[in-house]
A and B are shown apart, each in its own frame.
Chain A
Amino acid sequence: MRITKQARREAKQLFRAAVVNGVLDDTRARKVVQLLLEKKPRGYLAVLTHFQRLLQLDIERRSARIESAQPLSAENQATVKQNLSGVYGQGLTYAFTDSPALIGGLRIKVGSDVYDGTVRGRLDRLQDSF
């Protein structure tokens, strides 16, 4: 489906309407989708598709993925959360995963920022430097 400039613009306006105090409001977003599907304005599918993409990008921007070699204790998780919200502000969603392949340390990805303190990452960098 071709998404026209007009559709992009409209989707962006709707997206702005769903944001309260710089944070996306879930109920508003749901309402937007509901209204679009009910009223079916011209090119609503294109608008909806772009709206979905904008939402997806926003969610990615506000989600923190924390990978660790071993499962983190609740205490450690709280520390990480506190530190991250200090840097990126409130409204982050956190996902903790553990992957033994990292050998040790933490790998944190928030939006497109990556903090890599894992042993694996350091080994990879060492390998790249040769």
Chain B
Amino acid sequence: MKTLLEEIEAQIEGAKSTPAKVNVGTVREIGDGVARIEGLTDCMANEMVDFGSGVFGLALNLEETEVGCIILGDYSKIHEGQEVRTTGRLLSVPVGMSLLGRVVDSLGQPLDGKGPIKSETFYPVEKIAPGIIRRKSVSQPVQTGIMAVDAMIPIGRGQRELIIGDRSTGKTTLGIDTIIVSAPAADTATNQYLAPFGGASMGEWFMDNGMDALIIYDDLSKHAVAYRQVSLVLKRPSGREAYPGDVFYLHSRLLERAARTSEKYGNGSLTALPIIETQLGDVSAYIPTNVISITDGQIYLETDLFYQGVRPAISVGLSVSRVGAAAQVKAMKQVAGRVKLDLAQFRELAAFAQFGSDLDPQTQAKIERGKRIVEIFKQPQYNPIALEIQVSVLWGAQNGYFDDVPVEKVKDFQNKLSEYLTSRKGDLMKRVAKEQTISDALANDLKAAVVEFKQTYSTK
């Protein structure tokens, strides 16, 4: 027993505490969520600095004699002359399964009152995007359940697809209609600037662990405004529309983190759907053009279409998906391959048809078909449609089974057909979902089903 005590004593003796070296500075200026600090000679870029009493800052500007910091949290307690110390840590957020179904702020602190988040893993907020070795081509589809998107602007897992449109054209609706992920919302410019990066880190954890994550940035135009505010207060030089010179880098490094990783690196994906608000449909403004050029395509929502009752108000001509087609299910490709072209032709002809009254039967048929396709693509909010139903309905439209239905009845016809297919032809739908291509045999069965339904429909 005595030897044990002696041993412990010897160990205590040996464990001499050496005073740790810390790097400190003093606050010279404080206000607008930004502090300028003198000293902090060892401070690193993007390092967290400690203001004491639980308030932290993020060093953004490293100058010759000063450091410019943005403050996370309440800056009203910080005063001039206060001591600040470096921490040697990067800003990190908790990641992992325990975040599922939670509402958190940009630093990963819970906002939903469901108690603390138990997470042992932390990811830095700014993370370098996966390189080409870790990546793989986009090959799996994201089934959004929105027919117009799945048919014409297919999105693949790991893709970055921009949702762009004026105010109140249904951008957010299109976003949250897709999958239920709530982005953290915050109030100060600092938090708004950090929120998407924190969200991307949380999404990346799922990607790194072989899962498929979807992140919606709602919206990046406000994010750019918040970053502009922070930059201007930090006295960084401003450029076009008073945005700082690195606003492109801001968004590109964020969206670059969306990726599809190869089997060797977990086979996960992070799909990003950034949202941008335009002013009066001006897509050639600074931030919209930046983000359009970064992303792999865009879904353009138009005010005019929205008020015409075409909802989702997707403009077919201006929307594109540059990589999603590779991920589209074959059956969908078969039925939707020509839809985009048909619709584009319809738009052109419809404008043309307003001048002349006499049209040749071919043009007439194209216009009638176009009107029906527009009807088919109308879809209410929170109402995703299963892939097999989408394929069957589009197959019907492509093969002329909708042509003799009056335009105002098309939606009703479509809904009843979908209902019929789900409840009465479950086996057929399962086959469509399983085979994922429309073979001749399947086409015959589909034909039989649609014809059978049409008989019951017209007798009503």
Contacts and interface: CB of A to CB of B under 8 A. Distances in A.
Contact of B41 (A106, A112, A116, A122): A112
Interface string B32-44: 0000001111100
B101 interface: no
Interface of A: 57, 61, 105-106, 109, 111-117, 121-122, 128
B65 A112 contact: no
B12 interface: no
A112 B19 contact: no
A122 B19 CA distance: 9
A114 B22 contact: yes
Contacts of A128: 52
B65 A57 contact: yes
B24 interface: yes
B40 A116 contact: no
A115 B21 contact: yes
B25 interface: yes
A112 B40 contact: yes
A112 B24 contact: yes
Interface residues of B, number: 17
B10 interface: no
Interface in B70-92: 85
A109 B157 CA distance: 54
B39 A112 contact: yes
B42 to A, nearest CB: 7
A109 B40 CA distance: 12
Nearest to B54: A128
Contacts of A116: 19-20, 22
A105 B42 CA distance: 25
B23 interface: yes
B65 A114 contact: no
B39 A111 contact: yes
A113 B17 CA distance: 18
Max chain A Cβ within 10 angstroms of own Cβ: one of B17, B18, B38, B39: B39
A111 B396 CA distance: 78
A106 B18 CA distance: 11
A111 B21 CA distance: 12
A128 B52 CA distance: 9
Nearest to A112: B39
Contacts of A105: 19
A115 B19 CA distance: 6
6 contacts: A57-B38, A111-B41, A113-B21, A113-B23, A114-B22, A116-B22
Contact of A112 (B17, B18, B42, B52): B42
Top 6 closest A-B pairs, CB basis?
Answer: A117-B19, A112-B39, A115-B19, A112-B41, A114-B22, A114-B24
Contacts of B38: 57
B23 A112 contact: yes
A106 B25 CA distance: 19
Given A112-B24, A112-B25, A114-B22, 4 more contacts: A105-B19, A114-B85, A117-B19, A122-B17
